[in-house]
Amino acid sequence: MPYTTILIDDEQDCLNLLKWQLETYCPDMKIIAACNAAEDGLQAIEKMQPDVIFLDIQMPFINGFELLRRIPKINFEVVFTTAYDEYALKALKINALDYLLKPIAKDELLSSVEKFKNRVKSKNKGDDQPLLLQLLNLQNNPSKKIAIPIQDSILFLNIDDILYIKSESNYSTIQLKNLKSILASKTLRHFEDLLNGNQFYRIHASYLINLVEITKYKKTEGGSIVMSNGEEIKISRGRKDDFIKLL
């Protein structure tokens, strides 16, 4: 089946090359718009509702990350394209489908397209997009509340109120500073991705802690930390060195 895609890049040569590559190597990717300005890209996305977009990051006036923040509902996948590899980590942190470095190699492009198709097959389109929006907003405003899915509702919490998050298999227990706890229907990895780059650190396979709430570091018995509620949590052996460097 054909998939619709929009290309957005302020460099016309790069736009033309990517268009040729997709048409030549990925004929089932139907290009419905190729825009060399972010504003044109926003309008095209709103009007045409693509399955996936290939989005340049470094553009004048509105960069790729800001463009996504201006879209109320992201119901498509995102592949970032850029000549600057310094953006790779940020692109991955916000749960983008992929990140392609210019000049885009044929095998890298084919890999991204295959990854897109696999994601479409494995889940309903758009399932990850609320996470993408949360990550974009959280990086733009670190004090922003996050959405916590609980049973048949969604709870909104300020990240500063979280003491730690503990893995419970496919669920997570969120321990708050007021001693209350919440069972969320998301994995610890979900929250690690969501809160990465803020004051949270995965100190153990089962614990994501708020670094601000540490009151003591104990060197004995392999190392552990004491949280502001008095609870002691062991540091995993593989993360101890990185944690000490972080401190």
Smallest Cα–Cα separation from 91: which of 64, 61, 128? 64
Any residues with CB less than 8 A from the CB of 159 and at least 6 apart, and which?
Answer: 138, 142, 143, 144, 145, 146, 195, 198, 199, 200, 210
Q: Give me the pLDDT at residue 126, please.
A: 45
Other Cβ atoms within 10 Å of 99 Cβ, number: 20
Q: Give me the pLDDT at residue 125, please.
A: 47
Give the three-state DSSP class for 98. strand
Q: Give me the pLDDT at residue 136, please.
A: 62
Smallest Cα–Cα separation from 235: which of 244, 247, 224? 224
Radius of gyration in angstroms for the set of CA atoms belonging to the chain, rounded to a whole number = 21
Q: Give me the pLDDT at residue 130, please.
A: 53
Sign of the Cα pseudo-torsion (123, 85, 82, 146, in order): positive
pLDDT by residue, tens only, the chain of 247 residues? 789 999 999 999 999 999 999 999 999 999 999 999 999 999 999 999 999 999 998 888 888 888 988 888 888 889 999 887 665 555 554 567 788 888 999 999 999 999 898 878 765 544 455 556 555 655 555 556 777 877 667 788 888 899 999 999 888 999 999 889 999 888 888 888 777 656 888 898 999 999 889 999 988 777 899 999 999 999 988 888 877 776 6
